[in-house]
Amino acid sequence: MTILENAALVLRCFGNNCTDLTVSEVSERLGLPKASASRLLKSMRETGMLEEIGGSRRHRPGRMMLNLSAAFRYSSGVIGRARAAVHELSQAFGHTGYVSIRDGRQVLAIADFEGTNALRVGASVGNKLPAERCATGRSLLARLAPAEVALLYPDGPVAERLASQLERIRRTGYSFSSQETTPGVDGLAVAVGDPVTSEAVSLCLVYPHNLVSEAERNTMIDAMLDSAGGIAEAVGDPLFRAAERRVPA
């Protein structure tokens, strides 16, 4: 087991409800001897991958790590464009928006824009969600061929329901969820991808369920499809074409 793997495992601990770690926590979570955990954290501290929080013995990612997400964001053309688009959409409708990518069966928000409405959904970039259970995730899954989806989700009631949902998304071009992840919160998502790098991102708006009429929702969907369509055209996304033929809601 190389030290790099262990370092990566430590870094993986951060994220969902874990903002800092101690030696014993690492020892326990990775099943490492105390000694190894201690030395590992020490090395990571010395290289700047971790830093101590205010002289205590808790560790968090070092500030050198803060640059990395920026590098990721700008390394991809689609992501940059999606960020700009969601920012505009978020401003236009006052709702919180996300840009997300899929990682296996999970989706990961890589940018968020908090809405301007008094009642808005809080933004929390970095959270992971199960792809099959949110609008964002399904919009990305819908870009896969049914056979690829089947590889991710073995046969069963879940897979069956998902297949029909994805079929609808492919037909209409957008994805919708109502109070699925969070009670009282609905979400709309549209995905675009770069055929060259084969990277796909999802543009997503989330809003309070009771605050948006069906007419407003359709306005948002149109705006999102417009924005995403612009990106799709710019990067030459062949999969997006189908969405242009979507049936009016």
Which parts of this chain interact with a second copy (CB under 8 A)? 2-5, 7-8, 11-12, 14-16, 18-20, 43-44, 46-49, 53-56, 58, 60-61, 63-72, 74-76, 87, 91, 101, 103, 108, 110, 114, 116, 124-127, 194, 196-199
In angstroms, the Cα distances linking 57 to 20, 21, 32 are 10, 8, 18
Run of H or E including 237:
none
Two tokens, residue 123: 């933004």
DSSP 122: P
Least distance to a second copy from the beta carbon of 32, Å? 15
Say whether residue 1 binds DNA (CB under 7 A). yes
133's contact among a second copy, DNA, none, with CB below 5 to 8 A by partner kind, is: none
Restricting to residues 18-47, which ones interact with DNA according to CB under 7 A? 22-25, 27, 32-43
Any alpha helices (H) in 75-145, and if so which ranges? 77-93, 135-141
Say whether residue 8 binds DNA (CB under 7 A). no
Q: Is 62 helix (H, G, I), strand (E, B) or coil?
A: coil
d(CA 175, CA 23): 43
Restricting to residues 45-64, which ones interact with DNA according to CB under 7 A? 57
CB closer to DNA, 34 vs 171: 34
